[in-house]
Amino acid sequence: MKEMKKALIIGCGAVASVAIHKCCQNSEVFGKICIASRTKSKCDALAAKLAPTTKT
56 pLDDT tier (thresholds 50, 70, 90): confident
User: What type of residue sits at position 45?
Assistant: A
Collapsing DSSP to helix, strand or coil, 37 comes out as coil
- Radius of gyration for the chain, computed over Cα atoms and rounded to the nearest angstrom: 11
The pTM assigned to this predicted structure is: 0.81
Collapsing DSSP to helix, strand or coil, 50 comes out as helix
4 pLDDT tier (thresholds 50, 70, 90): low
How much is the pLDDT for 27?
Answer: 85
Range of the domain at 11: 4-53
Find, among 3, 5, 53, 19, the residue nearest to 35 by Cα: 19
pLDDT in tens, 6-52: 999 999 999 999 999 999 998 888 889 999 999 999 999 999 999 99
